[in-house]
Amino acid sequence: MLDLKFVRENPEIVKQNIRNKFQDQKLPLVDEVIELDAKSRAAKQEADDLRSRRNTISKQIGGLMAKGQREEAEALKKQVTEFSEHLAELEVQEAELSEEIRKRMMVIPNIIDASVPIGKDDSENVENERFGEPVVPDFEIPYHTEIMERLHGIDLDAARRVAGNGFYYLKGDIARLHSAVLSYARDFMIGRGFTYYVPPFMIRSDVVTGVMSFAEMDSMMYKIEGEDLYLIGTSEHSMIGSFIDQILQESELPYTLTSYSPCFRKEKGAHGIEERGVYRIHQFEKQEMIVVCKPEDSMMWYEKLWKNTVDFFRTLDIPVRTLECCSGDLADLKVKSCDVEAWSPRQKKYFEVGSCSNLGDAQARRLKIRVAGENGNKYFAHTLNNTVVAPPRMLIAFLENNLQADGSIRIPEALRPYMGGQEKITE
């Protein structure tokens, strides 16, 4: 959410940002906010003037009563009552205007960074850099669930009977591999100075609306019926939410956190849930990284975060690339974002396995996460998040890139301690 003062003073910048995101239907919101804000400030000024006049008159009443001028005092009392009644009306008006402003401000997109490429959708995202040599072996690579099934590692039919499409049973060495990757990711991030968390897997609505846009909320979140609780779509939601209504000490920044959680997503409006795949599913597990920092440090941390994911995948011998998200592909709260994509030898192309985002002060402003500076001034923190790893999607890249000609799966050296020293997975 933007600063209302910024919108009031820079309406054309806000409108151009909306155009850059190809959301022209939101352009009227800017003028509406400015008009409502003018009315709100006028009502507040009138209310302040009334309070001042009421206080002055109240003091006069005491003096008149002391002098025995009861009739004059009663006339002023009547005036005070009228002021109080009008004040009550103005306070209701202020609250209503404030809520109307808030509704509009919540859907006006954040100002994107000047470095973000302008484009309508993800088809116009821009490749930044490749890491590792993408290889296509001289033998056929089966579809990922075929590899898992041949290794007795997945049961989609049973999951469909129990929960429907978009769910899975992992078993045997594939299930162990899944857990090993998450354990390795945990220790990898701890080794980089991040504090490990296991957060709540449900959050309240005020946290949901604080960490994401209404469009994201509608397409992702599962609501717990009869409760003010939602299942999280990523542990970022819980982790950023933990700072709600807090004043942080500048000397304690940055907070560098890494968290494990299951994730639950409706995938509403997505390309569809695959019947035989685990690329887009309703339930998965993920290791995440989160940073809360000073505004001047957020771009530096943005660079560090995506590099952590690249380094993690390279230790598992998986070629990756980074893809800069264009303006039209950025969620409304994001200032800048890039995807980390892994190489798929079967498809001979890269696919998304993680996303790194700088949200500026958007989440902090919604959640009232402020920092007390050394000079006594208070300001909103900046927040960032990035995927370390999200199996089972990551398992697709792992299995394809480590598949051997004999059908076995090679276990990279970094992962072997988490697999009991096992060097390969066989039938």
Q: What is the pLDDT of residues 156-195, one digit of tens each?
A: 999 999 999 899 999 999 999 999 999 999 999 999 999 9
Q: What is the pLDDT of residue 144?
A: 96
Residue 107 CB burial class (10 angstroms; 0-12, 13-18, ≥19): middle
Would you say 58 and 79 are in contact if contact means Cβ atoms under 8 Å apart?
no
Would you say 141 and 350 are in contact if contact means Cβ atoms under 8 Å apart?
no
Span 278-299, average pLDDT: 95
Rounded CA separation 409/326 (Å): 36
Q: What is the pLDDT of residue 269?
A: 52
Q: What is the pLDDT of residue 135?
A: 94
Q: What is the pLDDT of residues 127-136, one digit of tens each?
A: 999 999 999 9
CATH 3.30.930.10 domain residues, the chain: 122-425
Q: What is the pLDDT of residue 277?
A: 85
Q: What is the pLDDT of residue 221?
A: 92
What does the chain come to in residues?
A: 427
Residue-wise burial string across 393-413, b where 16 or more C-beta atoms lie within 10 A, e elsewhere: bbbbbbbbbbbeeeeebebbe
Q: Does the structure show a pLDDT above 90 at 368?
A: yes
CA quadruple 183, 184, 185, 189: dihedral positive or negative?
positive
Query: Class for domain 122-425, per CATH?
Result: alpha beta
Q: Does the structure show a pLDDT above 60 at 273?
A: no
DSSP structural state of residue 356: E
Q: What is the pLDDT of residue 30?
A: 98
Rounded CA separation 269/271 (Å): 7
Q: Does the structure show a pLDDT above 70 at 78?
A: yes
Residue 115 CB burial class (10 angstroms; 0-12, 13-18, ≥19): exposed
Q: Does the structure show a pLDDT above 90 at 81?
A: no
Which helix or strand (DSSP H or E) is residue 51 part of? helix 27-66
By mean pLDDT, which of 10-24, 79-93, 104-118, 281-295 is the weakest? 79-93
Span 371-384, average pLDDT: 95
Which helix or strand (DSSP H or E) is residue 129 part of? strand 126-131
CATH 1.10.287.40 domain residues, the chain: 4-105
For the domain covering 4-105, report its CATH number. 1.10.287.40
Q: What is the pLDDT of residue 274?
A: 56
What are the helix (H) ranges across 67-211?
70-105, 144-150, 156-162, 172-190, 205-211
Which helix or strand (DSSP H or E) is residue 398 part of? helix 393-402
A 10 A CB-CB count for 294 gives 16
Rounded CA separation 183/351 (Å): 23
Rounded CA separation 389/378 (Å): 35
Cis peptide before 109 (omega within 30 of 0): no
C-alpha distances out from residue 308 to 133, 226, 289, 317, 356, Å = 19, 40, 9, 15, 10
Mean of pLDDT over the chain = 94
Q: Does the structure show a pLDDT above 80 at 73?
A: no
Residue-wise burial string across 195-229, b where 16 or more C-beta atoms lie within 10 A, e elsewhere: eebebbebbeeebbebbbbeeebebbbbeeeeeeb
Q: Does the structure show a pLDDT above 60 at 270?
A: no
Q: What is the pLDDT of residue 215?
A: 78
